[in-house]
Amino acid sequence: MLTPFQKLRGCTLAASDGDIGEVREFYFSDSNWRVRYLVVETGSWLSGRRMLIIPDVLGEVDAQSGAIAIKLTREEVRNSPPLESDKPVSRQHEQDLHVHYDWNPYWVVPGAAAGMWPPPYTGSVLPQVIAERQNAPGAGSAGDPVSENLAAEIQPDSQERQGDPHLRSSAKLANRYAFRAQDGETGRVYDFIIDDESWRVRYLVVRTGAWFFGKDVLLAPDWIEGISFERAEIFVNLPSSSIKEAPVYDSQAPISRAYEQQLQDHYGRKRYWDAVAAEREA
* Residue 154 · residue 122 · CB < 8 Å: yes
Q: Which domains does the chain have, with CATH numbers?
A: 2-101 (3.90.50.10), 121-162 (no CATH), 174-281 (3.90.50.10)
pLDDT value for 132: 52
Q: What is the spatial distance between Cα 129 and Cα 147, in angstroms, rounded to a whole number?
A: 12
Q: How many Cβ atoms are within 10 Å of 241's Cβ, its own excluded?
A: 12
pLDDT value for 131: 53
pLDDT value for 143: 44
pLDDT value for 142: 44
Q: What is the spatial distance between Cα 218 and Cα 256, in angstroms, rounded to a whole number?
A: 13
The residues of the chain scoring below 50 in pLDDT are 111-130, 133, 139-161
DSSP 24-43: EEEEEETTT-BEEEEEEE--
pLDDT value for 282: 60
pLDDT value for 129: 43
Produce one character per residue of 158-182: b if its CB has 16 or more CB atoms within 10 Å, e if not: eebeebbeebbebeebbeebbbbbe
pLDDT value for 246: 94
